[in-house]
Amino acid sequence: MSDPAVRLSGLRKSFGAVHAVTGVDLDIADGEFFAMLGPSGSGKTTVLRMIAGFESPTSGTVELGGVDVTRLAPFERDVNTVFQDYALFPHMSVLDNVEYGLRVKRVPRAERRERALAALASVRLEGYERRRPGQLSGGQRQRVALARALVNRPRVLLLDEPLGALDLKLREEMQVELKSIQREVGITFLFVTHDQEEALTMSDRVAVFDRGRVEQVGTPAEIYERPATAFVAGFVGTSNLISGSAAQAVLGREGTFSVRPEKLRVAALGDPVDGAEHSATGTVSEVVYAGPATRFVVELDAGGRLIALQQNLQVSSMDVMGLRGTKVRLVWHRRHEFAIVS
């Protein structure tokens, strides 16, 4: 087996009394689209900066392609970064920005120009070569930053919330585009985000961070359908926990369990439940109509609360709104409930 593109071993970083990263071990394979997901302050940026070389770890090592680079300066590492604020050089044209890395590496002029133009074309920015970064929109700047990093063909591309500054529509467009660019160039993308949807839709694998540690690593489906801890269940999607006496009453088991909202079916009290299913009765305390779907908040009779998400396939807002305050039965398939380690 070949060496992973990135290997982090026992990585820690403290800023004085602040322990930003408290022991991270990760292997990221070549060509992978890998997301680091976590709430604000969970240490994602700090990990990224240690891989880029802007920050040196308090302890632990960073390996790139099997080579220990922990003590190397940023300019000695075969990685490039797309900064959260893009960090384009304001006094240079778009073309000069993109050519910067190649010029530093003394790539001959003709080849440099050719590669820079190709990179700009791959992010759909032909015709913008002469502009200054100040004359571009946020989305265009983001793409210049991407081209400036990609043109160097690094082993790993690091992206720190590259879509954070864009509006929702542009962000969704760029998500698709980023993913297709990554597939095209085949470079390992290591992507930081605190947007769980973004992490789930774009990546091959996701590492969920909390308080400087990795809580769980897995494919989006694993993370979403089999969250290992209550934190992951809560951070990725709605947690919907059943625990304590409610678990005893509803499932007949000890522990904490979770069911995703879209796996719950809102049924009438008397509806039949088949053997492979579990169910719980409760009162609808809230109905939120959201266009294609409706969210029901149900206070369980056994204690606790579950949120159910139903597609509005045949119903209208008038039908669902009337359910507030009524008694319902929530039904789900047993294979959709999973135990949570607390």
Partner 1 sequence: MNAAPNTPAAALSRRTPRRRLSAFLHRHAGVRLSLLLSAPMLWLGIAYLGALAALFAAALWRADTFTGDLIREVTWANFQDLFTTEVYRTIALRSVGVAVAVTLIDLVIAFPMAFAMAKLASPRAQRWLVIAVLTPLWASYLVKAYAWRVMLSSEGVLGWGYGLTATIITLSYLWLPYMILPIYAGLERLPNSLLEAAGDLGARGWRTFRTVVWPLAFPAVVAGSIFTFSLSLGDYIAVKIVGGRSQLIGNVVYDNIGAANNLPFAAAVATVPVVIMLVYLAAVRRTGALENL
Ligand X SMILES: Nc1ncnc2c1ncn2[C@@H]1O[C@H](COP(=O)(O)OP(=O)(O)OP(=O)(O)O)[C@@H](O)[C@H]1O
Which residues lie near ligand X (CB under 6 A)? 15, 18, 20, 38, 40-46, 194
Distance of alpha carbon 180 from alpha carbon 183, whole angstroms = 5
Residue 161 amino acid letter: E
Helix-strand-coil split of the chain, %, nearest 5: 30, 30, 35
If DSSP codes are grouped into helix, strand and coil, which group holds residue 245? helix
Sign of CA dihedral 18, 84, 231, 21: negative
Binding to partner 1, residues 141-200 (CB under 8 A): 148-149, 152
Residue 52 binds partner 1, judged by CB under 8 A: yes
Residue 105 binds partner 1, judged by CB under 8 A: yes
Structure tokens at 310: 């139903």
Shortest gap between Cβ of 15 and ligand X (angstroms)?
3
- Taking every pair of Cα atoms in the chain, the longest distance, rounded to a whole number of angstroms, is 77
Q: Which residues of 141-152 are buried (b: 16+ CB within 10 A; e: fewer)?
A: bbbbbbbbbbbb
Shortest gap between Cβ of 177 and ligand X (angstroms)?
23
Shortest gap between Cβ of 17 and ligand X (angstroms)?
9
Which listed residue (90, 270, 272, 291) binds partner 1 by CB under 8 A? 90
- CA angle in degrees (0–180, nearest 5) for 185-190-194: 130
Residue 89 binds partner 1, judged by CB under 8 A: yes
Residue 91 binds partner 1, judged by CB under 8 A: yes
- Out of ligand X, partner 1, Mg ion, none, what residue 18 binds, judged by CB under 5 to 8 A for its kind, is ligand X
83 or 338, CB closer to partner 1? 83
Structure tokens at 215: 């809580």
Give the containing element (helix H, strand E) for 241: strand 241-243
Q: Which stretch binds partner 1 (CB under 8 A): 67-75, 257-265, 289-297, 299-307?
A: 67-75
- Out of Mg ion, partner 1, ligand X, none, what residue 320 binds, judged by CB under 5 to 8 A for its kind, is none
Q: Which stretch binds partner 1 (CB under 8 A): 98-106, 193-201, 214-222, 235-243?
A: 98-106
Contact pattern from residue 278 through residue 317 relative to Mg ion, giving x for each residue in contact according to CB under 5 A and a dash for the rest: ----------------------------------------
Shortest gap between Cβ of 100 and partner 1 (angstroms)?
5
If DSSP codes are grouped into helix, strand and coil, which group holds residue 330? strand
Find, among 81, 76, 74, the residue nearest to 45 by Cα: 81
Which listed residue (45, 97, 152, 203) binds Mg ion by CB under 5 A? 45
78 or 204, CB closer to partner 1? 78
Distance of alpha carbon 309 from alpha carbon 230, whole angstroms = 20
Shortest gap between Cβ of 295 and ligand X (angstroms)?
26
**121 phi, psi to nearest 5 deg:** -65, -40
Applying CB under 8 A, which residues contact partner 1? 52-54, 73-75, 79-81, 83-85, 87-91, 100-101, 104-105, 148-149, 152
